[in-house]
């Protein structure tokens, strides 16, 4: 068993103000995506997208925050928030959903691109190719917070998490960091070097993340308010399954747009 490194979630405090590692991971993930997307825009000479780049980033950031929070409310704890609607906006108490954030980003990006006559599929490819870096950093933030820990395990690298009881557990946050973050980024960044029809990288991201997240959920403790759902699946696996289906559909419908 490995000891859990008890890192203070707050980097520093100034009176009531706290700067937390988790928030820093969000900022670093956004900055990484910003520069990686800008690199692709310049490389592939997407001039019209470059003209709207800053405004699009603002819309996507807003969609991520709203979608992430509403996704958690409706996917993971609807009964609680129906009884306490005033706490829906209390994001400082925690509770964000990756799948909800993804829906918010895609919906906001689609509306923005349609309004400004941009190629949504090309823009989506640029952003999802860079997105796994932010996912990896977010999982590190989860690990520092001691949240979203894994199931009980006897493996030599299992850890006793502060909020997980006395038994050692899988450090599933690190599994997800490596799978959904590092590995998925390596795959997508390599794929983007070839000339695929626009939308192919998005489809690959949806299928790839869905498969990797579904696998990682086998080691992650289900959310206590939900537990296991149908056929002993977790909510994360059900939502990831929907991602796989959506990615397969996008690939089928976009493959006819392959460029010579």
pLDDT of residue 259: 42
Of the pLDDT bands very low, low, confident and very high (cuts 50, 70, 90), residue 2 is very high
How many Å from the N-terminal Cα to the C-terminal Cα in the chain?
54
Which tens digit of pLDDT belongs to each residue from 59-97? 999 999 999 999 999 999 888 888 888 888 877 667 889
Angstrom distance (rounded) from CA 133 to CA 54: 20
Q: Mean of the per-residue pLDDT values for the chain?
A: 92
User: What three-state secondary structure class fits 81?
Assistant: helix
* CB contact at 8 A, 53 and 147: no
Q: What is the mean pLDDT of residues 33-47?
A: 94
Render pLDDT for 201-221 as a digit per residue (tens, 0 to 9).
999 999 999 999 999 999 999
Evaluate whether 259 touches 197 at the Cβ level (below 8 Å).
yes
Assess whether pLDDT exceeds 90 at residue 6. Answer: no
Work out the average pLDDT over 18-37: 92
Predicted pLDDT at 179: 98
Instruction: List pLDDT tens digits, range 43-59.
Output: 999 999 999 999 999 99
pLDDT of residue 195: 83
Q: From residue 122, give the alpha-carbon distance in Å to each of 115, 167, 257.
A: 15, 47, 12
Q: Where are the alpha helices (DSSP H) in the chain?
A: 21-43, 47-51, 53-71, 78-83, 98-116, 120-145, 172-176, 184-191, 200-216, 235-254
Which are the contacts of 223, defined by CB distance < 8 A and separation ≥ 6?
A: 76, 234, 235
- Give the pLDDT confidence score for residue 257 in this predicted structure: 56
Query: What DSSP assignment string belongs to 203-218?
Result: HHHHHHHHHHHHHHTT
Confidence label for 164 from pLDDT (cuts 50, 70 and 90): very high
Which letter does DSSP use for residue 148 in this model? S
- Give the C-alpha separation, 51 to 70, whole Å: 30
């Amino acid at each position: 068993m490995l000891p859990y490194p008890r890192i203070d979630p707050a980097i520093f405090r100034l009176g009531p103000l706290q700067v937390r590692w988790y928030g820093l991971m969000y900022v670093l993930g956004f900055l990484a995506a910003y520069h990686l997307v800008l690199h692709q825009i310049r490389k592939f000479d997407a001039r019209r997208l470059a003209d709207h780049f800053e405004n699009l980033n603002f819309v996507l950031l807003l969609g991520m925050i709203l979608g992430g929070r509403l996704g958690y409310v409706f996917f993971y704890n609807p009964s609680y928030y129906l009884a306490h609607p005033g706490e829906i906006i209390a994001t400082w108490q925690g509770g964000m959903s990756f799948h909800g954030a993804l829906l918010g980003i895609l919906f906001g990006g689609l509306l923005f691109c349609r309004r400004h006559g941009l190629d949504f599929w090309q823009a989506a490819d640029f952003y999802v190719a860079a997105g796994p870096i932010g996912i990896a950093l977010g999982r590190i933030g989860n690990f520092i917070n001691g949240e979203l820990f894994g199931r009980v395990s006897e493996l030599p690298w299992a850890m006793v998490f502060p909020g997980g009881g006395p038994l050692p557990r899988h450090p599933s946050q690190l599994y997800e960091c490596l799978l959904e973050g590092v590995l998925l980024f390596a795959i997508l960044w390599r794929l983007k070097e070839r000339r695929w029809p626009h939308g192919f990288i998005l489809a690959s991201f949806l299928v790839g993340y869905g498969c990797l997240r579904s696998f990682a959920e086998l080691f992650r403790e289900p959310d206590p308010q939900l537990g296991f759902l149908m056929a002993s699946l977790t909510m994360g696996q059900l939502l990831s399954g929907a991602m796989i289906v959506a990615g397969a559909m996008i690939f089928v419908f976009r493959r006819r747009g392959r460029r010579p």
